[in-house]
Structure 1
Amino acid sequence: MSFAPYGAFLARDGYIVIGISNDNLFSRLSEAIGMPELKNNPDYITNRERVRHRKKLNRLLGSVFIKNTSRYWMDLLKRYKVPCARVKDVSEVLKDGQTSAINPFQVINESGRKLKIQPVPFKLNNKYFKIERPSPSNGENTYEILYKLGYSQDEIKINLTWHNKNLDFPDSEFNILILFIFNKIKTSIIQYFYKFFNVIIEPIRIQN
Structure 2
Amino acid sequence: MYCPDPFAETHPEILRALIQRYPLATLVSVGVNGLEANHIPLYLVPGEGPQLVLQGHVARANPLWREVLSNSEVLAIFQGPQHYISPSWYATKAETGKVVPTWNYAVVHAHGPLHVRDDPAWVRQQMVALTAQQENGFTMPWQVDDAPRDFTERLIQQVVGIEIPISRWMGKWKVSQNQPVGNRDSVVAHLEQQKQPDSEAMAEYVLVGLKGGKRDHP
TM over 0.5: no
**Bucket of the pairwise TM-score, normalised by the shorter protein:** under 0.3
Structure richer in helix, relative to its length: 1
Q: Which has the higher contact order (CA 8 A, sep 6+)?
A: 2
Provide the TM-score with structure 2 as the length reference.
0.19
Provide the TM-score with structure 1 as the length reference.
0.19
Larger radius of gyration: 1
Structure richer in strand, relative to its length: 2
